[in-house]
Structure 1
């Protein structure tokens, strides 16, 4: 057993006993870490507020047999209070946190960690529509995890889109857009602008994304939700609570 330092994003907390909490975090070096923060529910706690959801903290932990114990926490990103003040931002933050917890199980992924921190920072800043921040995170997180959607050539036959107009049929099981010849019954047809929006979100091109129409943003939201849950192989509780 030994002390170690780690940087983590608090995803969720749960009560333990009368004064403690189990803190679930996405850490830079260890992936998902669940550790006990003793006494943080007491009003006299020195670092309880630093371990609330959506906070980024520099941690000192003590290795335990079952759960590690957080002995120190210093705030690096105080995104929790700002996100929690806006109901829609709070809901989006919960979708992001649940997705991060699913993806973060297993080996550490510094790239996923950086993406998560960036999404929460952008959400807290409040300058970009909540839905775009959420959808951009989901799409890019899936891509880093190895499930990059095909948004240019037909994912089935490889045919390029004609005359700079994107393929508009999107197959979630096939993993991207398909041409007219390869489409099957039941595959939704998106607006061309929606496919361009998906490309922008995947690339982190916010200038293009914020200029998209409400219809295209709504179409993108539905496709991204379906795509994310398909590859995670079961539904996200926080997504099912949303009215898409």
Structure 2
């Protein structure tokens, strides 16, 4: 069908000409979509504000040869304003949408869409530490893409844990026999925190020490970037705040 509707999260935008934008979106049913939103940079635009990063919308699109065209956009979640108003939320949200943008087409599933919407909603509502929300999102996004870190058994030989070493290239925690020389150790509290982040056990997350949170964030960042096979530029802004 040349015209279709879908729910989308706006990941990023680029200027096109004097009044248009190219909008990159993660959709619920069609994976990642790149479309032209005509006239949205004019003050008279009826839906320009609905197609800003971090916004969730119900859109109607016309299927083009290279880029689709946005015909209509109705807001489903106005998360942009409360996120932009807080620097920590803003930087965390940027990492989340950049990660979603790095997903392969085969990985851009409805589950990834719902995970991202839930993460942005939580950031917009407040009440949770932005870095914790981000780390939970990254671990779950990797799990949905088939890269869940091994936290309960050795990633290499399967020996039941817990284990004291964590090696991102090997897939998570590893036993003494499988840990390469110089492998970083992981404190039991940090390992417990990472389990809680991927499971959404916020009582454990909220009770974790600052040291465990910092250590877990470093491991999550390294693990995510290794398996995405590229760096996440927005993470550098988060690191300056630690």
Shorter-normalised TM range: over 0.9
Deviation for aligned residue 1:17 = 0.4
Q: Is the 8 A contact 1:26 1:104 kept in 2?
A: no
* 1:111-122 aligned within 5 A: 111-122=111-122
- Name the residue aligned to 1:147: 147
TM-score (norm 2): 0.95
Q: Is the 8 A contact 1:29 1:108 kept in 2?
A: no
Q: Deviations over 1:84-126 (max 9, x none)?
A: 1111111110100000011153464111111010000011111
Q: Is the 8 A contact 1:154 1:177 kept in 2?
A: yes
Write the distance in 1 (CA, Å) between the matches of 2:107 and 2:155.
Answer: 29
Q: How many residues end up aligned between the 2 structures? A: 240
Q: Is the 8 A contact 1:7 1:56 kept in 2?
A: yes
Write the distance in 2 (CA, Å) between the matches of 1:205 and 1:75.
Answer: 30
Q: Indicate yes or no: 2:223 matched with 1:196.
A: no
Change in CA separation of 1:108 and 1:137 when aligned onto 2, cut-off 3 Å: closer
Q: Indicate yes or no: 2:216 matched with 1:186.
A: no
Bigger mean CA offset, 3-12 vs 232-241: 232-241
- Name the residue aligned to 2:218: 222
Q: Is the 8 A contact 1:31 1:104 kept in 2?
A: no
- Name the residue aligned to 1:45: 45
Q: Is the 8 A contact 1:32 1:106 kept in 2?
A: no
Q: Would you identify which runs of 4 or more consecutive aligned residues in structure 1 move more than 3 Å? A: none
Q: Indicate yes or no: 2:227 matched with 1:231.
A: yes
Deviation for aligned residue 1:64 = 1.3
Write the distance in 2 (CA, Å) between the matches of 1:59 and 1:207.
Answer: 37
Structure 1, unaligned runs of 5 or more: none
Deviation for aligned residue 1:242 = 3.3
